[in-house]
Amino acid sequence: MLVLGIESSCDDTGVALYHSEHGLIGHALYSQTALHAQYGGVVPELASRDHVRKLLPLLNQLLSDTKTVLADIDAIAYTAGPGLAGALLVGASFGKSLAFALNKPAIAVHHMEGHLLAAMLSSPKPEFPFLGLLVSGGHTQLMAAKALGDYELLGETLDDAVGEAFDKNAKMLGLPYPGGPELSRLAQSSIKKPGTKGRFKFPHPMTDRPGLDFSFSGLKTFALNTYHQHQDENNIQLKADIAIAFQTAAVETLTIKCRRALNQTGLKRLVVAGGVGANTALRVGLNNLLTELNGEVFFPESIFCTDNGAMIAYAGCQHLLLRKQDQNHTISVYPRWTL
Ligand code: KG4
Ligand code: ZN
């Protein structure tokens, strides 16, 4: 079965073709980063309009690159939520209309389930059951993934998502949008001296009490206060020192909670998903943890950590194989949708 996946929930337009037997056939991605950079964040209306402009040319490019024609497609999977309502509507109306025109099934995919399964695009594939750590710009969640579609939320952030905290700290340090990767680069950077791990010690929020919930908004305030206290040194080294202190606290907090969740559930496999999963320090921390626990950790390829069409095609394909599909031609999106 050949499934076309469409992703348009935020500021990336993604399309991909996934085949149930042959795996990923191809994917194409258009990032709107440059469009939103001047505003320091995603402008929803501009995002929707750009998806409208880019989706069809991107699909044509994918079809031509993979020497596929529309008639080869057996089903269409699209992100139906959560995300920006207007942006979601572009992909949903496009996907459902195309499916209707081709007389093929369509399936609504949950964006976070797409992220959760993105590591399955790589080999070796994680098998169910596993602990999922979803770390994106909008979510920080720990999930017990028991089987396809059977996910139990174990803990989540009570305020900012970890990606959001990376972005806000980066903005405060004057780094360009999108801040997460920039802050991480600054933390690792060897500009003059590398960020001096240990100069500032940031708190590890909510690790001193039981439970698997997170809170990242306090780290932003802590970073801001540290910055103000040392403003006389306002230089790149101070910024690098704050960047590494923030990143270390965020990574260690996530690692502590993963250890706790693995102990609590008895699960031996950890699957990381979402944009922050591309962070090298997090990858190192979680690799060390799972080695210590004699378990396994799986990360998607970096390109499939952030939003993309391949994870939507993959997730849609797995559900279609279980004969799930949209039951009518209504176009619905769910900007707030729990997994
Ligand atoms: O999953 P994603 O592409 O979009 C959402 O669904 O939110 O995640 C984007 C988030 C942003 O907050 C971005 O700053 C963060 O992931 N991110 C990173 C890195 N790469 C992306 N954060 C830290 N280090 C990175 N290398
Ligand atoms: Zn995402």
**Ligand 2 geometric centre to CA of 313 (Å):** 14
Interval 266-293: pLDDT, tens: 999 999 999 999 999 999 999 999 999 9
**Ligand 1 geometric centre to CA of 299 (Å):** 14
Interval 56-89: pLDDT, tens: 999 999 999 999 999 999 999 999 999 999 999 9
Q: Which atom of ligand 1 is nearest to the CA of 184?
A: 24
**Ligand 1 geometric centre to CA of 164 (Å):** 8
- Count Cβ atoms within 10 A of the Cβ of residue 167 and give its class: 0-12 exposed, 13-18 middle, 19 or more buried: buried
* DSSP codes of every residue in 189-255: --SSSPP-TTSS----TT-SSSSS-B--HHHHHHHHHHHHHTGGG-SHHHHHHHHHHHHHHHHHHHH
**Can you tell me the mean pLDDT for 21-27?**
98
- Residue 191: predicted pLDDT: 55
What is the Cα–Cα distance from 30 to 50, expressed in whole angstroms? 10
- Asked if 273 and 115 count as a contact pair (C-beta separation under 8 A), the reply is yes
Interval 142-160: pLDDT, tens: 999 999 999 999 999 999 9
Question: Would you give the end-to-end CA distance of the chain in angstroms?
Answer: 25
Interval 250-267: pLDDT, tens: 999 999 999 999 999 999
Which residues on adjacent β-strands are paired with residue 77?
5, 107
What is the Cα–Cα distance from 77 to 332, expressed in whole angstroms? 13
**Ligand 1 geometric centre to CA of 87 (Å):** 18
**Confidence at 17, pLDDT banded by 50, 70, 90:** very high
Q: What percent of the chain has pLDDT above 90?
A: 91
**Ligand 2 geometric centre to CA of 266 (Å):** 28
**Ligand 1 geometric centre to CA of 135 (Å):** 8
Q: Name the residue with the closest Cα to ligand 1, atom 23.
A: 180
Q: Which two tokens stand for residue 250?
A: 């965020």
Q: Name the residue with the closest Cα to ligand 1, atom 20.
A: 181
- Residue 190: predicted pLDDT: 55
Q: Which atom of ligand 1 is nearest to the CA of 9?
A: 6
- With the most atoms of ligand 1 within 8 angstroms of its CB, the residue from 13, 166, 184 to mutate is 166
Q: Spell out the alpha helix ranges (H) of the chain.
A: 33-37, 44-65, 85-102, 111-117, 162-172, 179-188, 217-229, 236-265, 280-292, 309-321
Cα radius of gyration rounded to whole Å, the chain: 20
**Ligand 2 geometric centre to CA of 335 (Å):** 13
What is the Cα–Cα distance from 37 to 44, expressed in whole angstroms? 13
Residues flanking ligand 1, CB < 6 Å = 10, 136-138, 163-164, 166-167, 178-181, 184, 274-276, 278-279, 306-307
- With the most atoms of ligand 1 within 8 angstroms of its CB, the residue from 216, 276, 282 to mutate is 276
- Residue 34's CB: how many other CB atoms inside 10 A? 8
Ligand nearest to the CA of 311: 2
Structure letter (DSSP) for residue 136: S
Q: Which atom of ligand 1 is nearest to the CA of 180?
A: 14
